[in-house]
Amino acid sequence: MGRKFDIHYVIEFIPKLLSYLHITLFIVASSIVLGLIIGFLVALPRLYNVPFLKRCSQVYVSFFRGTPILIQLFLIYYGLPEILKLVQIDVSKADVLVFVIVAYSLHSGAFISEGIRAAVNAVDRGQVEAAYSIGMNGYQAFTRIVLPQALAISIPIFANLVIANLKDTSLAFSLGAMEMTGKSQTLGSATQHFIETYISLSLIYFVISTTLERIFLYVEHRLLRHDTPAVAHERRSRQRSAILRTIVPRFGKGG
């Protein structure tokens, strides 16, 4: 049991936790950037229906969307060094943050690949065919017709993924990574004021998540500023469909 609740500790702990915010944000930023690269590469075989690679990407996506991130962290942290030993690569002395970022990147990549695929497929195929009919090639049709609409559709999906990734980083302390949650464990153990520690931590996460949400909302509004009400309504319908396809695991299925 902790000590009697004291509101002053909530205020005192916030700056101490914020001193580790850069580590949390570094994990989020690194995993999202790498996840975008992984997600794009994984989405391509399914978008272009490449037989063997399509099946590999389906297995990858199903695994990382269908297992808890905590289990993935342990598998990467304990399993990756053993696998790399087979090719004479020793990563046993690598910083724990390396394994954390690898795990979160692979996890994010699975969801981002589904977001990319859902956003591209949500664009009306008739518009692409119309672009071909006026002489555009595949690259022009994609960059001028598909990509702008897919970006607008994917913003809410991407926002959800980034915020979820931010909150999931709280599990990195289980491997000994000293980010904000890890620091909160140390503060709680040292002072026995656990409730105050977690209130401070939750306030920080809430403020960051709300700020990110507003930033993404602003970006979405900027992208959609030229839409008519009818087009906006249609786009929101496609966004809802794309979001559902992204967040609901589909084991053994795929387009």
What is residue 190's predicted lDDT score, i.e. its pLDDT?
Answer: 87
State how far the Cα of 194 lies from the Cα of 160, in Å rounded to an integer: 29
Nearest to 60 by CA among 47, 72, 74, 73: 72
What is residue 200's predicted lDDT score, i.e. its pLDDT?
Answer: 94
Core vs surface per residue 89-119: b (16+ CB within 10 A) or e: eeeeeeeebebbbbbbbbbbbbbbbbbbbbb
The amino acid at residue 223 is L
What is residue 193's predicted lDDT score, i.e. its pLDDT?
Answer: 87
Cα 114 to chain centroid, rounded: 11
Judge whether 90 and 143 are in contact, CB under 8 Å.
no
- pLDDT (tens digit per residue) in 154-212: 888 888 899 999 999 989 988 888 889 888 888 888 888 889 999 999 999 999 999 99
Interhelix angle 180-191/21-47, nearest 10 degrees: 140
User: If residue 234 lies in a helix (H) or strand (E), which one and from where to where?
Assistant: helix 229-247
Q: What is the mean pLDDT of each run of 10 residues along the chain (255 residues)?
A: 78 92 93 94 89 92 93 93 87 88 95 87 77 79 77 83 91 87 87 90 94 89 66 57 53 40
What is residue 129's predicted lDDT score, i.e. its pLDDT?
Answer: 79
What is residue 250's predicted lDDT score, i.e. its pLDDT?
Answer: 43
What is residue 6's predicted lDDT score, i.e. its pLDDT?
Answer: 81
What is residue 109's predicted lDDT score, i.e. its pLDDT?
Answer: 94
Query: Residue 8 burial by CB count (10 A; 0-12/13-18/19+): exposed, middle or buried?
Result: exposed
Nearest to 151 by CA among 217, 223, 221, 215: 223
As its CATH architecture, domain 21-177+224-247 has Orthogonal Bundle (1.10)
State how far the Cα of 83 lies from the Cα of 140, in Å rounded to an integer: 42
